[in-house]
């Protein structure tokens, strides 16, 4: 087909069983926008229910969206969709990585890659513009990701962008990542690539993405966007008092201040005051090493890194000589957020500083060493759950019970007890290489609980933070905007990865201002509660839930970074801290030349989200989503105890716990917002047809999965 | 009248210049700029630009231009200028408990512009306990030991404790 603005118009299809590659037309999926939405449609059409994630019949889709590669701020993300091994029903789910991979893919002329089948031997995929070749990968199989990427780079050129798996993916662990660049990991689907004997995809593009608008129109909207953007997570007030700032927030990722440096840069770079009007200092606002690794990391910080076309740069790049001296690994480490914090979860006994160390140094070493190991082996942490599972199994005698005595005795528990991060060197090797029994910790919580018979207590214990018996943890759930975050997590097949609501609530401005904005967006100030001071469920919260679910899917389809977007708030007092939630549609219309309002795009995203729901119904073989899918673990709806040991009743200040009745009302109201069956929460024929998906309705009907 | 306007302009120039350097202008520094017999405060009262703001301290007034700093930042400088660390901590805590609402980590006062020593902060908090006008200021600790302050006028005990735990521990565990 002819080239389209924004879209390249082409999907690369690869069958690794036959070795055949061919081109598909992107635009036949145009109702699903791009990235995640289009991937959902491909999974619906082509991967039957009951397929195992590691079977050749499963497909894995690497998706870029129409805004990717166009220079729109924070548009460098890659969406990956496939069956999810850690989910009990192997339901379809998506993982996401940043970096430069999807942008390079677009430059090579492709919107997406769909891989199916299984190669008889290890391979890697070489894409150089329209030249596609399946290359022998035996010489990189078994290598850690850092070596493998360097080796493939030596073949295809250092300008190539590579997405690869490590031993964890090759060994088909349920918890395995796909990584690109130095630090951009998508957790959950590494084993799917491994099952296909696909070590890596390397892509090099020499083209560009065509934009419908005139350059000056793009420049103008870009400038406008840059006036609205805040710091990472769209935090719009600084952490520390600044002369220009009306508000501050101690949780803000806008950490820049006078006297805070990228201390290992040459010469050191001061983050400074970062006035909101100064576009040139946007990339200095978020000192992510300071945020993630603590004040001790300042002098080790070389710079911030991040994804293509992102002015924020939320991945810190640090140089820590102690890593080389003590553990013989590269002292240069890059990562962000959970990549750094999950290793400290595994070291749950604490990592006290040793004599002679600075305050927080041992924790910094643990985080950077652990992130390097996890990134090299390609082990996914299930959003930090792996550490809590280690803690539970250790503290409750599970390891002693299930590990053969010889294996138990061989594990250096003394290092864990002492807080010596060398424990991680042993741990990740055992897990990624499937040694003994302990590696099953990377089966994911559902499978682990079954295999090791962890019992009801495991799910009910609040500090385990397990949100759902489907085996995924809290990820901006009830603690993020009360029922809004809680309900968002209920619609997921894995940790929710939704920041549309959490960024809004954590923007940093006072609750009264947030409520004013909430009233404009979702019809009532009651759409949002102050943290830990919740009111019962209402219809405007349900609108906020729907908006968050669909906006996040929209971002993963366009592809925009949902760790920044949507721009619901801004740092600008003169705008009364309002952002612009119509920006996605403005960019989409300018880039593609297809005029869409924000309501149009929201409807497109709703179509995709409803399809995702239908996929889950099909995977689980039941329409009763309310009962079988959308429930939480019991701690979520149990009153918590205050410091005095007394229960804090729900809906009184000081608690973020929910009640079962209120959550059921919440489910009903959200189902209603989506036009789904209010009893079961399944999409109805009428709604599917209204969204142009009669075929999906027919598919569900054929299996008896449409609600009565 | 023209002379008066010229005088007000000179005073405003001084205030704006000070504010550009992120400092408040005490009325004593303005008084030396006016002729004998004139009163700088009255000159400004009878006509000053909309950006010129003032706060009354215990001994004199402080001025700033909101073109260079926000009122909230000026308040911090004002409280510092008043040299009453107990009041500074209490009033800052009250503002945060009321405005956001949230408890205030004591670490706040180690940072600029406060730059207080830990011992000074601890002494101020200890002193508050025996002064009736600060009876609303309370403390709560998160599970990692971090100390937070809050005003009971605006935040209940359980609420403050829950928020401190969330800000200090929960938020970091859920990046
Ligand atoms: S905010 Fe971070 S994750 Fe998002 S695009 Fe920027 S660098 Fe990438």
Higher per-residue pLDDT: A406 or A708: A406
Region of poorest pLDDT, from A118-122, A459-463, B35-39, B53-57: B35-39
In whole angstroms, what is the distance from residue A90 CA to residue B16 CA?
65
Res. B24: pLDDT tops 90 = yes
Q: Which domains does chain A have, with CATH numbers?
A: 10-204 (3.60.9.10), 318-464 (no CATH), 482-565+597-702 (1.10.599.10)
Reply yes or no on whether the pLDDT at A3 is more than 60.
no
User: What's the mean pLDDT when you consider all of chain B?
Assistant: 94
Name the residue with the closest Cα to ligand 1, atom 5.
A74
Residues of A in contact with B69 (CB under 8 A): 243-244
Closest to A504 measured CA to CA, from A552, A539, A468, A536:
A552
Do A477 and A471 meet the contact criterion of CB atoms below 8 Å apart?
Answer: no
Q: CA A464 to CA A673: how far, in whole Å?
A: 32
Query: Quick one: closest CA in B to A648, which residue?
Result: B158
State the average pLDDT for chain A.
97
Both structure tokens of A652: 């009184």
- Tell me if chain A has a CB within 8 Å of the CB of B111: yes
Is A113 a residue whose pLDDT tops 60? Answer: yes
Structure tokens given for A99: 């970096």
Contact between A283 and A304 (Cβ < 8 Å): yes
CA A406/CA A140 separation, integer angstroms:
32
Mutation for B interface: A345, A532, A533, A648, most B CBs within 10 A: A532
Task: For residue B40, give the 3-state DSSP assignment.
Answer: helix
Say whether B97 sits in a helix, a strand or coil.
helix
Q: Is the CB of A393 under 6 A from ligand 1?
A: no
**What's the gap in Å between the CA of B103 and the closest CA on chain A?**
10
Give CA–CA dist A227/A282, Å, rounded.
10
CB B113 within 8 A of CB B170: no
* DSSP secondary structure code for residue A639 in this structure: P
Tell me which chain A residue has its CA closest to the CA of residue B141: A643
Tokens, residue B161:
């404790």
* Greatest extent of chain B over all pairs of C-alpha atoms, in Å: 64
Under 8 Å between Cβ of A58 and A15: no
d(CA A378, CA A569): 36
CA distances (Å), origin B58, targets B62, B79, B85? 10, 10, 14
**pLDDT over 50 at A602, yes or no:** yes
* Cβ–Cβ below 8 Å for B101 and A530: yes
Indicate whether B46 pLDDT > 80.
yes
Q: Which residues contact A448 (CB under 8 A, 6 or more apart)?
A: A389, A440, A441, A454, A471
Of B4-8, B32-36, B69-73, the one with minimum mean pLDDT is B4-8
For A497-550, the pLDDT digits (tens) are: 999 999 999 999 999 999 999 999 999 999 999 999 999 999 999 999 999 999
Instruction: Please state, in angstroms and rounded to a whole number, the distance separating the CA atoms of residues A370 and A364.
Output: 10
Name which of A34, A29, A93, A82 is nearest A59 in CA terms. Answer: A82
Q: Is the CB of A312 under 6 A from ligand 1?
A: yes
Please tell me the pTM assigned to this model. Answer: 0.97
Subunit contact A531:B102, Cβ cutoff 8 A: yes
Q: Is A577:A53 a contact under the CB 8 Å cutoff?
A: no
pLDDT digits (tens, 9 = 90+) for A653-686: 999 999 999 999 999 999 999 999 999 999 999 9
Q: How far, in Å, is the centroid of ligand 1 from the Cα of A572? A: 21
CA–CA dist B132, A236 (Å, integer)? 37
Rounded distance from Cα A186 to ligand 1 centre (Å): 13
CA A425/CA A407 separation, integer angstroms: 16
**B1, pLDDT greater than 50:** no
pLDDT category of residue B3 using cuts at 50, 70 and 90:
low
Burial class (CB in 10 A: 0-12, 13-18, 19+), A207: middle
Cα distance between residue A458 and residue A454, in whole Å? 6
A231, A288, A313, A338: residue to mutate for ligand 1 pocket, most atoms within 8 A of CB? A313
Percent of chain A scored above 90 by pLDDT?
Answer: 99
Q: Which of residues 17-76 of B touch A (CB under 8 A)?
A: 22, 68-73, 76
A409-444 tens-digit pLDDT: 999 999 999 999 999 999 999 999 999 999 999 999
Length, in residues, of chain B = 175
The ipTM estimated for the assembled molecules is: 0.95
pLDDT tens digit sequence for A79-90 = 999 999 999 999
* pLDDT value of residue B48: 81
Does A205 have pLDDT greater than 90? yes
């Amino acid at each position: 087909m002819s080239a389209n603005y924004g879209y390249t118009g082409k999907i690369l299809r690869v069958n690794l069983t036959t070795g055949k590659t061919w081109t598909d037309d992107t635009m036949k999926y145009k109702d699903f926008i791009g990235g995640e939405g289009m991937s959902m449609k491909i999974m619906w059409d082509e991967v039957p229910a009951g397929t195992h994630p590691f079977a050749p019949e499963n497909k894995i889709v690497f998706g870029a969206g129409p805004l990717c590669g166009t220079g729109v701020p924070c548009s460098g993300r890659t969406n990956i969709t496939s069956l999810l091994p850690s989910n009990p029903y192997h339901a379809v789910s998506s993982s996401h990585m940043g970096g430069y991979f999807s942008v390079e893919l677009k430059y090579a002329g492709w919107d997406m890659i769909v891989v199916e089948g299984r190669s008889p031997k290890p391979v890697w995929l070489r894409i150089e513009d329209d030249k596609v070749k399946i290359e022998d990968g035996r010489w990189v199989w078994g290598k850690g990701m850092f070596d493998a990427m360097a080796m493939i780079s030596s073949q295809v050129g250092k300008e190539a962008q590579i997405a690869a798996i490590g031993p964890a993916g090759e060994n088909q662990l349920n918890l395995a990542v796909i990584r690109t660049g130095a630090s951009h990991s998508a957790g959950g689907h590494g084993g799917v690539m491994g099952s296909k004997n696909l070590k890596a995809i390397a892509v090099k593009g020499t083209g560009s993405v065509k934009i419908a608008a005139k350059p000056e129109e793009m420049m103008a909207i870009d400038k406008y966007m840059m006036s609205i953007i805040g710091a990472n997570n769209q935090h719009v007030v600084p952490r520390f008092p600044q002369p220009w700032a009306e508000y501050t927030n101690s949780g803000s990722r806008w950490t820049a201040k006078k006297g805070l440096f990228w201390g290992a840069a040459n010469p050191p770079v001061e983050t400074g005051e970062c006035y909101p009007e100064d576009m040139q200092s946007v990339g200095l606002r978020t000192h992510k090493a300071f945020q993630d690794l603590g004040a001790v990391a300042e002098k080790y910080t070389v710079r911030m890194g991040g994804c293509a076309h992102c002015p924020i740069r939320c991945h810190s790049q640090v140089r820590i000589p102690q890593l080389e001296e003590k553990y013989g690994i590269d002292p240069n480490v890059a990562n962000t957020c959970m990549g750094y914090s999950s290793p400290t979860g595994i070291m749950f006994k604490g990592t006290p500083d040793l004599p002679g160390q600075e305050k927080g140094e041992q924790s910094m070493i643990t985080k950077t060493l652990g992130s390097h190991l996890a990134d090299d082996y390609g082990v996914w942490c299930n959003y930090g759950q792996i550490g809590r599972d280690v803690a539970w199994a250790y503290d409750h005698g599970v390891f002693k019970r299930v590990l053969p005595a010889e294996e138990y005795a061989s594990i250096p528990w003394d290092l864990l007890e002492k807080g010596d991060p060398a424990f991680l060197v042993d741990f990740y090797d055992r897990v990624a290489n499937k040694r003994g029994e302990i590696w099953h910790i990377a089966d994911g919580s559902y499978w682990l609980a079954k295999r090791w018979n962890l019992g009801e207590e495991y799910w009910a214990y609040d500090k385990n933070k397990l949100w759902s018996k489907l085996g995924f943890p809290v990820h901006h759930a009830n603690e993020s905007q009360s029922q809004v975050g809680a309900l968002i997590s209920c619609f997921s097949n894995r940790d929710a990865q939704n920041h549309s609501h959490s960024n809004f609530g954590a923007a940093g401005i006072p609750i009264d201002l947030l409520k004013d904005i909430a009233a404009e967006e979702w019809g009532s100030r009651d759409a949002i509660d102050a943290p830990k001071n919740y009111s019962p469920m209402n219809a405007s919260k349900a609108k906020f839930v729907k908006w968050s679910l669909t906006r996040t899917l929209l971002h993963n389809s366009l592809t925009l970074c949902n760790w920044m977007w949507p721009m619901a708030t801004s740092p600008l007092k003169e705008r009364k801290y309002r952002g612009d939630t119509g920006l996605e549609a403005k960019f989409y219309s300018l880039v593609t030349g297809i005029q869409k309002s924000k309501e149009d795009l929201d409807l497109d995203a709703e179509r995709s989200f409803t399809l995702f729901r239908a996929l889950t119904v099909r995977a689980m073989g039941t329409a009763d989503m309310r009962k079988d899918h959308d429930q939480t673990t019991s701690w979520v709806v149990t009153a918590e105890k205050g410091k005095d040991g007394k229960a804090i009743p729900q809906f009184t200040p000081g608690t973020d716990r929910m009640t079962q009745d209120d959550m059921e009302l919440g489910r009903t109201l959200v189902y209603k917002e989506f036009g789904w069956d209010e009893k079961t929460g399944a999409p109805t024929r009428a709604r599917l047809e209204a969204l142009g998906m009669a075929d999906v309705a027919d598919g569900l009907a054929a299996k008896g999965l449409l609600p009565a | 009248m023209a002379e008066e306007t010229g005088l007000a302009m000179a005073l405003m120039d001084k205030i704006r210049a000070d504010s550009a350097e992120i400092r408040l202008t005490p009325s004593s520094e303005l008084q030396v700029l006016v002729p004998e017999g004139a009163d700088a405060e009255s000159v400004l009262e009878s006509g000053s630009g909309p950006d010129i703001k003032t706060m009354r301290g215990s001994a004199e007034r402080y001025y700033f231009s909101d073109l260079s700093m926000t009122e909230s930042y000026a308040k911090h400088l004002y409280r510092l200028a008043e040299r009453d660390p107990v009041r500074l901590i209490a009033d800052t805590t009250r503002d945060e408990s009321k405005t956001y609402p949230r408890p205030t980590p004591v670490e706040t006062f180690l940072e600029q512009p406060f730059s207080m020593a830990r011992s000074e902060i601890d002494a101020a908090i200890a002193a508050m306990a025996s002064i009736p006008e600060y009876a609303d200021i309370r403390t709560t600790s998160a599970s990692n030991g971090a100390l937070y302050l809050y005003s009971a006028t605006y935040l209940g005990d359980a609420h403050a404790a829950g928020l401190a735990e969330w800000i200090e521990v929960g938020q970091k565990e859920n990046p």
